Amino acid sequence: MPSPASGGGEAGLRSAGAEAGQAREGPIRVAVDALGGDRGPDEVVAGALAARSDGIEPVLLGPAGLDTGGLELVETTQQIAMDEKPAEAVRAKPDSSLVAACRSVGEGSADAVVSAGNTGAMLAACLLRIRRLPGVYRPAIAVVIPARRGPSVLIDSGANAESRPEQLLQFAEMGAIFAEEILGIADPEVRLLSIGEEAEKGNDLTREAHDLLVAAGDLNFVGNTEGRDLLEGAADVVVCDGFTGNVTLKLLEGTIRTVLEGFREEITATALGKLGGLLIRPAARKLRTRLDPETYGGAYLLGLRGLAVIAHGNSSRVAIANAIRLAARGVEHDVVARLSERLARESARERGSIGALRNPTSK
């Protein structure tokens, strides 16, 4: 079984043993929502079993009688469906597998949580049961983008439909720590997603956020970027509001899927194409693995007092296993503590920068 250090084939992700935080005693316990996802609990269980190792102990939360293959089961009596209203469902179903999994992290019986269930409910449950780190305006979703020059982080990818400039600055801080600790990138470059590279381009939000990012001394901010450069590798960290980020993410996923499927159809359409396909098969497989969202398994919800990974609703057992490994890697690198330390250090400086920009004549 792959250990946290092996990464299970997650290309570009930092190995969990290298330069990690304090040594841990015992395996990392990851609470897994067994009823989350479109493919049913059997697929989630299979993924959890694949992720189990000496360093990772998945704990399943689901109904009594669920066949866990020997993994620990915490019994729950309720389920949150994909089409339920998130906040209402979280309040009405405290014993759902999703809420109970988040609660286990908040109470300290698990080190991290993974769910492929209702994303909105996951956000609500995490805010209620795990809670934000002190000083965090809003948590943000950090997704790894499989860029040609190497993986980069897109943040926020959907947690906040509307954001303020100071929140985008904080997203950049969190994304930089993600890139350092999980992707192993020293002094990651940060860019702001906009409609042009020039500082004056964009709406009020991007222009104000640009000024704050320029003034942030601890960030390696190198300016704006456009959406066309994301898959090329625009920066190690790309910052935007959650609405823009979610639209961008889904556009990228759809584009990658359509191109790969179209490529396969063209190769298999003729005998000559099939022959050529045999010759390029190793390279094609490598490319498909690098571009496949399941390679990374899920997205971190950063800014909480504990670690939470949100997997895609249609996750296969491979994606579930990789999401669990991703969660374990964040625990081993003590990402929450690193975020807390950095945000506390930057809080006073950020308040001063924001005040100066909004009140330029004040003394």
Round to whole Å and give the CA distance between 317 and 294. Answer: 9
The CATH code of domain 145-294+334-363 reads 3.40.718.10
**CA distance to 43, 152, 201, 326, per residue, from 8 (Å):** 17, 19, 41, 10
Q: Where in the chain is the domain with CATH 3.40.718.10?
A: 145-294+334-363
Helices (H), 55-164: 86-92, 97-107, 119-129
Domain 1-131+304-332 has CATH 3.40.50.10950: yes
pLDDT in the model for residue 3: 35
pLDDT band, residue 150 (cuts 50/70/90): confident
What amino acid occupies position 48?
A
Mean pLDDT of 210-226: 92
277 or 206, which is more confident: 206
272 or 22, which is more confident: 272
345 or 65, which is more confident: 65
Q: What does the pLDDT look like over 20-76, one tens digit per residue? A: 344 557 899 999 999 988 899 999 999 999 999 999 999 999 999 999 999 999 999
**Does position 152 have pLDDT exceeding 70, yes or no?**
yes
Q: Where in the chain is the domain with CATH 3.40.50.10950?
A: 1-131+304-332
pLDDT band, residue 17 (cuts 50/70/90): very low
Closest-CA residue to 61 (of 119, 115, 101)? 101
Mean pLDDT of 256-279: 76
∠ CA 109-32-97, nearest 5°, is 85
